[in-house]
Amino acid sequence: MKKLDWYILRKFLTTFFFSIFLFAVIAVVVDVSEKADDFVKSGLSFYGVITQYYIGFIPHIIALLFPLFVFIAVIFFTSKMAGKTEIIPILASGVSYQRWLRPYLLGGIFLASVLWFANRYVVPKANVIRSSFEVTYIDKNNAYNSLLGGNNSVYMRVDSFSYAGINYYDTSARRGSPFFMSSHRDSQIVYNVRAETILWDTARKQWKLENVVERKMDMMKEEVAYFHEKWVKYNFKPTDISRDKYTKERLTTPELDRFIELEELRGSEGLNSLKVERYRRDATSVTVLLLTLIGAIVAGRKVRGGSGVHLAVGFITAAMFILTDRFSTIFSVKGNLHPMIAAWIPNMIFLLVVVYIYRKAPK
């Protein structure tokens, strides 16, 4: 690392963190103005609103626009360097164009790694806090949707031989009734259990069945047993059956992988939105790196109009990226486009943009 690298990296990171800090403040002010009535109705103190909502809202909004602000930060400080004629002497002194881009590449990799880790573990935990507040105080009636999208019935495949169902399941209370599960062998039912109520116990990490009737069938023989309550360990948890509009945002990446795997085993439909979310968590990190290079190459050339022209190009590029991302997501969720392709299409397109503008850039 030379002085040139530290000089550019310092400008890069300080500009980015300053801009993202200002944006976070503005976002909080706007959000407070929109939700002021909800905060008053909740009855929470100022400290309660901070700890039960904004400590989750701020990471969510920062991660959402993280690539865009990396792009704007690169364009802003690089355009300033070009306007002060700092870049021309650097290249004229014998520094190659590739060498000049190296600190941008290092900074982009660092910020991409930060976003990758945050998307996998930090942001989902923050979304649990944010969404819990919204479900409790803002979106009580519309937050939860059942697996069948209209009523609160849940039907699922537990394993290769067993199927279960809950006629009504309350996601907030983690309680359902009535419950049944059947196991099959050679097209015959060999085990059946029915309960008036199924309840998740957070302390024991088990399901509690109440007023249970258990049947075991073996050819012409049947055994029936009755229990007031029965503790069982199934391979599904409340998060696996309480699929709502916040589910994909709340789960860490390992949890999301497991959730998708279980839903595929159960034959659930409409999993493309979950898969797109899973692949996008990785793809967005690469987006940060691509936008860093685009911003450096575009803003590194001194042009008439200065930073204004560069920022205009930057906003147009960002708008194109967002449109491409939205269209690919819609084609995957509503159509037959593979989720991985949908998540990576914007990066594929902008990789071609990077190659093109790099070849055309004056060196």
H or E segment to which residue 122 belongs: none
User: Distance between CA atoms of 78 and 109, rounded to whole angstroms?
Assistant: 18
Quick one: 124 and 20 in the same domain? Answer: yes
Confidence (pLDDT) at 139: 67
Quick one: 105 and 167 in the same domain? Answer: no
Domain range for 186: 154-237
Confidence (pLDDT) at 223: 87
Task: Tell me: cis bond preceding 339? Omega within 30 of 0 counts.
Answer: no
Quick one: 173 and 118 in the same domain? Answer: no
User: Distance between CA atoms of 328 and 349, rounded to whole angstroms?
Assistant: 12
Residue 221 falls in which region: left (phi positive, over 0), alpha (psi -120 to 50) or beta: beta
Confidence (pLDDT) at 88: 84
Phi, psi of 101 (to 5 degrees): -80, -10
Q: How many CA atoms lie within 13 A of 101 on its CB side?
A: 21
> Is residue 289 in a domain?
yes
Q: Token pair for residue 33? A: 């103005």
Give the largest CA-CA distance in the chain. 92
Quick one: 134 and 211 in the same domain? Answer: no
Confidence (pLDDT) at 29: 93
Q: Token pair for residue 282? A: 């990785």
DSSP-assigned beta bridge partners for residue 217? 222
Quick one: 128 and 163 in the same domain? Answer: no
User: Distance between CA atoms of 205 and 214, rounded to whole angstroms?
Assistant: 22
User: Distance between CA atoms of 74 and 13, rounded to whole angstroms?
Assistant: 9
Q: Fill in the amino acid letter for 176.
A: G
Quick one: 65 and 136 in the same domain? Answer: yes
Confidence (pLDDT) at 85: 84
**Where is the domain boundary, 188, 220, 237?**
237
Quick one: 10 and 126 in the same domain? Answer: yes
Q: What is the mean pLDDT of each run of 10 residues along the chain (363 residues)?
A: 88 93 92 90 89 93 91 90 86 88 94 95 92 78 42 71 81 79 84 91 89 86 88 80 72 88 73 89 93 89 68 75 80 84 90 88 68
Whether the Cβ atoms of residue 4 and residue 102 lie closer than 8 Å to each other: no
> Is residue 148 in a domain?
no
Alpha helix segments (H runs only) across the chain: 3-42, 46-49, 55-64, 66-83, 87-92, 97-117, 123-133, 238-241, 247-250, 253-265, 272-299, 307-334, 339-360
* Residue found by looking up tokens 């159960």 in the block: 266
> Is residue 262 in a domain?
no
Q: Token pair for residue 341? A: 């392709």
Closest CA to 70 of 101, 98, 97, 109: 109
- Structural domain total, the chain: 2
Q: Token pair for residue 334? A: 């509503």
Neighbouring C-beta atoms of residue 9, cutoff 10 Å: 17
> Is residue 257 in a domain?
no
Quick one: 41 and 104 in the same domain? Answer: yes
Confidence (pLDDT) at 186: 79
Question: What's the CA dihedral at 29, 35, 37, 43 to 10 degrees?
Answer: -90
**Where is the domain boundary, 237, 264, 284?**
237
Taking each helix axis from N to C end, the angle separating 66-83 and 3-42, rounded to the nearest 10 degrees, works out to 140
Quick one: 282 and 134 in the same domain? Answer: yes
The 10 Å CB-count burial string (b at 16+, else e) for 301-324 is bbeeeebeebbebbeebbeebeeb
> Is residue 255 in a domain?
no
Confidence (pLDDT) at 269: 67
pTM of the entire structure? 0.76
Closest CA to 263 of 281, 234, 282, 236: 236
Quick one: 124 and 41 in the same domain? Answer: yes
Q: How many CA atoms lie within 13 A of 168 on its CB side?
A: 5
Quick one: 160 and 117 in the same domain? Answer: no
Confidence (pLDDT) at 147: 37
Confidence (pLDDT) at 107: 95
Quick one: 120 and 197 in the same domain? Answer: no
Confidence (pLDDT) at 144: 44
